[in-house]
């Protein structure tokens, strides 16, 4: 049979028709991609040209290996089948567009069979993936897709179905190998007519052309933008925020030398080019939406919509932006202040995104501008920010009261020690969490550690200020604390607050604290148990579940240690470990009002209550407060205790037994 491309159709040769179809679709595709690229590159500079080894490795695992996509076993498997299928069949486009010149003249004979096998396998995988996805969408429609238009997704899937099925028909007339091309060989046994095969060829090429035309107009633009988005992902610690300004060494410019004209982000071009790529990389899979605590509680934040807003804003204002002008509409107006201030910065959206989209930094950058430039932020934050500025803690207590909780514990205060227990504001001033501090320091002393506290020399780590957007106040606190650390020779720090643990350990390095070793108290306690310096926990009838704090588990990577301290968890919550659900206090939400019918902690409390345990172990002072509050609200009678309290309780009980026997 003469190849369809070499046949004549009325006044036109086949290659003319293909040239017309391909020219239009490729031309439109290239135009749209270069337009999107120009809209991305007008963003602010972003230094993402480092750590080449980790970038390449993560790209191979994350993009090629589809690591995050496969977290959703059902939808992920279907997507991977289509993705890997298209990677394998892509080279067949050259063969189809050259009337088999690629396989017949360019490929060595020894490779033709294996190449044909790879291509057919690719078409088969893509077919299985798209049929499965269509059935899922039309028959077993996921809850998050109900009530929403599925036209775009269904059209793309039907195009893939057309591309794959017609490939087997075309293959049937090309002497397919029974070994390398079993499906094409089976089709050849049916003896399809030449007209059917010719029609299949042109339907195949038309489907590809339409697909190419639709890519830049739909969420499938991620097929192009995902490559740079994944490769230029943030290789730094999770949820680490950046300084206002950095010097040539990448360190923060000291406040006394700071000279910048604006703070945070107000306009589109103030986002960095890497932040802007996110807008065209989103697949609308809604995974970020599914894990967002603010969205789940009914607030006005949908992380997926934030990313769509960036792209929509760019496309709607493209002529103005590309001419170098600034639209009247600000990014805060587009994304909305309600969405910006609802974020708990739990990083669940960033962690779950298969294309490494960075949602949270966009919101915190907008907060910076609102807090330090336009002054348009929730007024309730004035109290906490004012207290931090005047008393170095959001509660407003005097600095001289910081060590009152330890007055009878015979602990070093403001003196050099091998370990400094950074108590944090909550454990210093909140009566409930002072018990955690007492238990922690008692355990460390029991194990024989040389440990002390800073007392009134300790200041707020700055986490609430930084997450609220008050970067200037945060840097002031960081520089002050680091000066104290330097004066006392502090090298190793233990923190029972995951927010302090993260801020001191992951973010103070930009301000001169790169040599600090910072541990969460559960890490140290677990290590001391391993060394037999502290006993293993005996539950004595308690049934315990554990709530993973966001800044400890998902962000900090501390998962097993707190479980080890309490002797293991009897029943895990539905969402645990890296996938734990936020308590609702992060992102300075602890100091903001929350609608009574939209409380994040009540959602988490219900999940904890379902375990049927009588005790919830925690490793964060804010989680302790929020979880207890939530349990009370939903009427669940569960005790909330820090891991240190559970361990110290046992030691105290044994001491009482010993004393009672003597």
Q: Kindly report, residue by residue over 520-546, the tens digit of the pLDDT.
A: 999 999 999 999 999 998 888 889 999
What total of structural domains would you count in the chain? 4
Are residue 209 and residue 304 in the same domain, yes or no?
A: no
Q: Which segment of 174-178, 195-199, 507-511, 593-597 scores lowest on mean pLDDT? A: 593-597
CA angle centred on 464, ends 520 and 393, rounded to 5°: 90
The span from the CA of 303 to the CA of 286, in Å, is 9
Q: Is residue 577 part of a domain?
A: yes
Residue 264 near residue 369 (C-beta atoms within 8 A): yes
Query: At which of 334, 351, 374 does a domain end?
Result: 374
Domain range spanning residue 650?
544-661
Q: Is residue 340 part of a domain?
A: yes
Residue 648 near residue 439 (C-beta atoms within 8 A): yes
pLDDT given for residue 541 in this prediction: 83
| pLDDT single digits (tens) 95-147 | 999 999 999 889 999 999 999 999 999 999 999 999 999 998 888 888 777 76
Are residue 411 and residue 491 in the same domain, yes or no?
A: yes
pLDDT given for residue 659 in this prediction: 52
Are residue 395 and residue 512 in the same domain, yes or no?
A: yes
Share of the chain above pLDDT 90, in %: 88
Q: Is residue 325 part of a domain?
A: yes
Return the DSSP state at 363.
Answer: H
Which residue, 223, 201, 74, is CA-closest to 156? 223
The span from the CA of 492 to the CA of 153, in Å, is 53
Residue 586 near residue 499 (C-beta atoms within 8 A): yes
- In the β-sheet with 492-495, what is the strand arrangement from edge to edge? 412-413, 451-453, 419-422, 492-495, 517-520
pLDDT given for residue 661 in this prediction: 55
Are residue 438 and residue 307 in the same domain, yes or no?
A: no
Are residue 525 and residue 549 in the same domain, yes or no?
A: no
Is the Cα torsion angle 255, 256, 260, 262 positive or negative in sign?
A: positive
Q: Is residue 539 part of a domain?
A: no
- Supply the pTM of this predicted model: 0.93
Return the DSSP state at 302.
Answer: -
Query: At which of 530, 565, 584 does a domain end?
Result: 530
Q: Is residue 363 part of a domain?
A: yes
pLDDT band of 653, cuts 50, 70, 90: confident
| pLDDT single digits (tens) 416-430 | 999 999 999 999 999
Are residue 419 and residue 519 in the same domain, yes or no?
A: yes
Are residue 394 and residue 333 in the same domain, yes or no?
A: no
Is the Cα torsion angle 517, 522, 523, 529 positive or negative in sign?
A: positive
Q: Is residue 235 part of a domain?
A: no
**Three-class SS of 512-557:** CCCCCEEEEHHHHHHHHHHCCCCCCCCCCCCCEEECCCCCCCCCCC
The span from the CA of 216 to the CA of 222, in Å, is 9
pLDDT given for residue 144 in this prediction: 76
Are residue 34 and residue 105 in the same domain, yes or no?
A: yes
Paired tokens of 16: 């003319």
pLDDT given for residue 482 in this prediction: 97
Are residue 100 and residue 159 in the same domain, yes or no?
A: yes
Query: At which of 502, 530, 558 does a domain end?
Result: 530
Which residue, 510, 508, 479, is CA-closest to 495? 508
Residue 154's CATH number: 1.20.950
Q: Is residue 56 part of a domain?
A: yes
The span from the CA of 424 to the CA of 621, in Å, is 9
> Distance of CA 352 to CAs 61, 66, 71, 200, 356, Å?
15, 12, 8, 40, 8
């Amino acid at each position: 049979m003469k190849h369809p491309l070499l046949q004549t159709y009325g006044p036109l040769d086949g290659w003319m028709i293909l040239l017309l179809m391909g020219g239009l679709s490729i031309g439109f595709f290239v135009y749209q991609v270069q337009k999107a690229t120009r809209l991305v590159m007008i963003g602010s500079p972003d230094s993402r040209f480092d750590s080449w080894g980790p970038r390449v490795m993560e790209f191979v695992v994350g993009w090629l290996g589809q690591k995050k996509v496969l977290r959703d076993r059902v939808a992920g498997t279907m997507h991977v089948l289509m993705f890997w299928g298209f990677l394998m069949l892509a080279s067949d486009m050259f063969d189809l567009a050259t009337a088999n010149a690629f396989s017949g003249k360019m490929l060595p004979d020894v490779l033709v069979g294996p190449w044909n096998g790879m291509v057919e396998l690719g078409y088969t995988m893509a077919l299985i993936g798209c049929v499965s996805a269509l059935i899922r969408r039309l028959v077993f429609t996921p809850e998050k897709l109900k009530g929403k238009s599925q036209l775009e997704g269904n059209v793309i899937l039907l195009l893939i179905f057309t591309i794959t099925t017609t490939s087997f028909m075309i293959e049937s007339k090309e002497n397919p190998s029974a070994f390398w091309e079993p499906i094409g060989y089976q089709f050849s046994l049916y003896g399809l007519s030449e007209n059917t095969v010719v029609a299949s060829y042109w339907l195949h090429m038309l489907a590809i052309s339409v697909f190419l035309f639709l890519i830049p107009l739909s969420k499938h633009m991620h097929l192009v933008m995902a490559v740079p988005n994944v490769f230029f992902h943030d290789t730094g610690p999770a949820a680490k925020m950046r300084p206002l300004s950095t010097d040539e060494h990448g360190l923060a410019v000291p406040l006394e030398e700071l000279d910048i004209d604006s703070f945070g982000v107000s306009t589109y071009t103030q986002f960095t080019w890497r932040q802007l790529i996110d807008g065209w990389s989103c697949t609308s899979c809604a995974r970020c939406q599914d894990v967002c605590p603010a969205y789940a509680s009914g607030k006005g934040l949908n992380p997926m919509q934030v990313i769509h807003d960036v792209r929509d804003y760019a496309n709607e204002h493209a002529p103005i932006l590309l001419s170098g002008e600034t639209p009247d509409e600000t990014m805060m107006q587009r994304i909305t202040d309600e969405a910006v201030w609802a974020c708990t910065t739990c990083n669940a959206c960033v962690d779950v995104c298969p294309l490494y989209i960075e949602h949270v930094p966009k919101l915190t950058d907008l907060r910076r501008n609102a807090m330090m430039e336009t002054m348009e932020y929730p007024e309730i934050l004035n109290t906490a920010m004012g207290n931090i500025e005047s008393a170095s803690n959001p509660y407003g207590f005097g600095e001289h009261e910081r060590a009152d909780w330890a007055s009878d514990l015979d602990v070093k205060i403001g003196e050099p020690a091998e370990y400094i227990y950074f108590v944090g504001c909550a454990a210093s001033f909140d009566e409930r969490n002072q018990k955690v501090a007492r238990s922690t320091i008692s355990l460390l002393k029991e194990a024989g550690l040389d440990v002390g506290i800073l007392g009134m020399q300790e200041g707020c780590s700055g986490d609430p200020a930084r997450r609220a957007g008050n970067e200037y106040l945060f840097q002031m606190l960081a520089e002050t604390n680091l000066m104290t650390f330097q004066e006392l020779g502090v090298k190793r720090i233990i923190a029972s607050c995951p927010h302090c643990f993260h801020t001191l350990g992951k973010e103070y390095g930009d301000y001169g604290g790169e040599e600090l070793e910072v541990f969460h108290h559960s890490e140290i306690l677990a290590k001391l148990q391993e060394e037999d310096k502290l006993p293993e926990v005996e539950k004595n009838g308690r049934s315990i579940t554990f709530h993973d704090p966001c800044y400890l588990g998902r962000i900090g990577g501390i998962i097993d240690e707190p479980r080890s301290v309490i002797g293991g968890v009897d029943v895990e919550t539905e969402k645990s470990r890296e996938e734990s659900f936020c308590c609702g206090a992060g992102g300075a939400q602890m100091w903001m009002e929350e609608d009574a019918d939209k409380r994040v902690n009540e959602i988490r409390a219900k999940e904890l209550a379902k375990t049927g345990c009588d005790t919830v172990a925690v490793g964060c002072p804010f989680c302790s407060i929020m979880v207890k509050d939530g349990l009370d609200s939903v009427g669940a009678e569960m005790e909330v205790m820090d891991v240190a309290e559970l361990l110290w309780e046992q030691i105290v009980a044994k001491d009482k037994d010993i004393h009672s026997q003597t």
